[in-house]
Amino acid sequence: MCRSMMMRGLVCSVFSLMVMGVECVSDVGSSGGSDTGSVDDSGKTGDTENQQGAGHESTGDYTWDSSEVTFITCEGSSAVVHGAGATAVGGVITITSAGTYSVKGSLTDGQIIVNADSSSLVRLVLNGVSIRGSARAPVHVLRADKVVIMLADQTSNLIEGGTTYVQQGTTTDEPNAAIFSMTDLSISGNGSLSVTGDYGDGITSKDGLIIAGGTISVNTIDDGIRGKDYLILRNSTVDVVCGGDGLKSDNTADAALGFITVQSGLLHVTCGGDAITAETEVHMAGGNVVLSSGGGSTATISSTLSAKGIKAGVNVVIDGGTCSINSAEDAVHSDDSMTINGGTFTVSAKDDAFRAEAVLIINDGVINVTKCYEGIESKAITINGGSIQIVASDDAINGAGGVDGSGYARWPGKPMQTGNASLSIHGGHVAVYSTGDGIDVNGAIVMTGGTVIIHGPTSNNEGAIDYDSSFNISGGTLVAAGSAGMAQAPSTTSTQRSVHLKYQSARPAGTIINIQRSGSNLLTFAPTKTYRSVAFSSPALVQASGYGVYRGGSSTGTVKNGLYSGGVYTGSLSSTFSIQNVVTNVNNLP
């Protein structure tokens, strides 16, 4: 936990500076013209240049003097340069000086090389260009301080790599992307860019990569978009189809780098590996995100393949946005910590929906898990708010002590750790539908508020609630219906009272349970699965006599996840009971 919090501070300091760029729009005229370069000021947060990431971004990156633009016209197998700072030999264009270069036309087998001074800012304006490279990276940045690719207004641009690349050295396979940069790279504008590659990655920067505008599509056999130090997306529409990872940041040498943030815009990823994967942190602040990894939740993948929706080595932080994930493994995974502060998630996962190895905190947001093996899993889980609905083939919420996929075939023979996990519920609305345990914690549960509704399991080898040490409840509403063989209620050390009902035989799914006193309905609940045990805790349960348990019938109330509020209930009386203790057991109900 200490390592996680320290890393969170380091990475956030990078985020706070890196995101202060602008949405940029430019339009450079035809060869020989003097049209004005322009910038859209919407989204500006100031002119302070970022001091992290080698000064990657400042507002000045997206403005220029139109009289100093060098125009390059591509003409099939050759190119013509009008201005200074660049040369063309056949279909190979080489830029050697800082400046702004407007490129249009097509090259059937060509390349743009940037090999400028290491202090140079090079703006590459794609003004309706098509460049294909049969045996080389069509855009190859060897050296510069930073390169900005601007997509001119209302233009369509194509960068297409071949099946093999001529490598620049003997010790690496680089360049290995259709657009490959050895330095900081930014992409912006109001045009579109299509990148295809049959050799390696689509777009790669060996430093930082910021996509701050434009409509960008990437289709490649390996990774889609990679910023080694960091990858930041905002104000853009990005579509990635690839055989490897979709978005990737993989700096392993610096603990403050190797992160991905999605601020805004539209992102759609369909990939064979992980959809979004970062060495340190993935931060989703907003946007509309659709992710499909490894063929989705119905696919069977190799045990050596990682095919998660979102994966981070240290932290996953969700502050907002809308995200739909269909994954062949975990939908959202962190090797350390995860915090969900908002946003809307729709998830279908082959393995876990949300998994953090150490700490998982949900403060707010809307989570709808339609399919998973286990829904929420971590060693320490805290739910402070939000609306959560989970359909799970095993445990819906699992305090697992840090062991992945408890019982999942990927970890054969690995024993489950017990006794040191925890679950704390302080608010929110949680509804789970489980085949295994509804809530399974290898340790202690604490509940002080919120609403928890559990449907299932039906097998006597599982329980709606399963904990090792204690379940202390002091507030909120709990209703858990399932089988009777392993059934548990909250602990007698609780300060809020509970009642545990057990039936002589299984009751059909949909059969209403009603508890009332003095004509007031305390519980009206219709489980969606057969059940023999119902645990119920509420502040309305007080020490008194005259409680009645009713069965069947109907209610005119408003129902949410099987729990009715308001309305009139009619049904048959099964039994009466009194509450004297913290936990009251009512057995052998008909």
**How confident is the model at residue 500, as a pLDDT?**
98
Boundary of a domain, candidates 184, 210, 230: 230
188: Cβ–Cβ under 8 A, 6 or more apart, which residues? Answer: 23, 24, 25, 26, 62, 148, 149, 150, 151, 211, 212, 213, 214, 236
For residues 47 and 196, membership in a common domain is answered with yes
> Do the domain assignments include residue 189?
yes
For residues 220 and 341, membership in a common domain is answered with no
> Do the domain assignments include residue 447?
yes
For residues 78 and 193, membership in a common domain is answered with yes
> Do the domain assignments include residue 306?
yes
The answer to whether residues 550 and 563 touch, using CB atoms and an 8 Å cutoff, is no
For residues 208 and 182, membership in a common domain is answered with yes
- Of 356, 446, 370, nearest to 401 by C-alpha is 356
For residues 349 and 213, membership in a common domain is answered with no
For residues 355 and 482, membership in a common domain is answered with no
> Do the domain assignments include residue 10?
no
The answer to whether residues 545 and 518 touch, using CB atoms and an 8 Å cutoff, is no
> Do the domain assignments include residue 51?
yes
Secondary structure of 443-503 in HEC code, one letter for each residue: EEEEECCCEEEEECCCCCCCCCEEECCEEEECCCEEEEEECCCCCCCCCCCCCCCEEEEEE
The answer to whether residues 463 and 420 touch, using CB atoms and an 8 Å cutoff, is no
Output the six-digit token pair for 466.
């399963």
Domain total in the chain: 3
**How confident is the model at residue 419, as a pLDDT?**
74
Amino acid present at 91: G
> Can you give the length of the chain in residues?
590
> Do the domain assignments include residue 406?
no
For residues 213 and 136, membership in a common domain is answered with yes
For residues 442 and 511, membership in a common domain is answered with yes
For residues 431 and 475, membership in a common domain is answered with yes
Which mean pLDDT values do the consecutive 10-residue runs of the chain (590 residues) have?
37 33 36 36 30 65 90 97 97 97 97 96 98 92 96 97 66 81 96 93 97 97 97 97 98 96 97 98 98 98 96 98 98 98 98 98 98 98 98 96 40 48 98 97 97 97 96 98 96 98 97 97 98 98 97 98 97 97 97
For residues 393 and 515, membership in a common domain is answered with yes
**How confident is the model at residue 63, as a pLDDT?**
85
For residues 554 and 459, membership in a common domain is answered with yes
**How confident is the model at residue 14, as a pLDDT?**
33
**How confident is the model at residue 171, as a pLDDT?**
52
**How confident is the model at residue 30, as a pLDDT?**
35
For residues 269 and 125, membership in a common domain is answered with no
- pTM for the full predicted model: 0.89
- Of 500, 487, 459, nearest to 589 by C-alpha is 500
User: Domain containing 162: what range?
Assistant: 20-230
> Do the domain assignments include residue 535?
yes
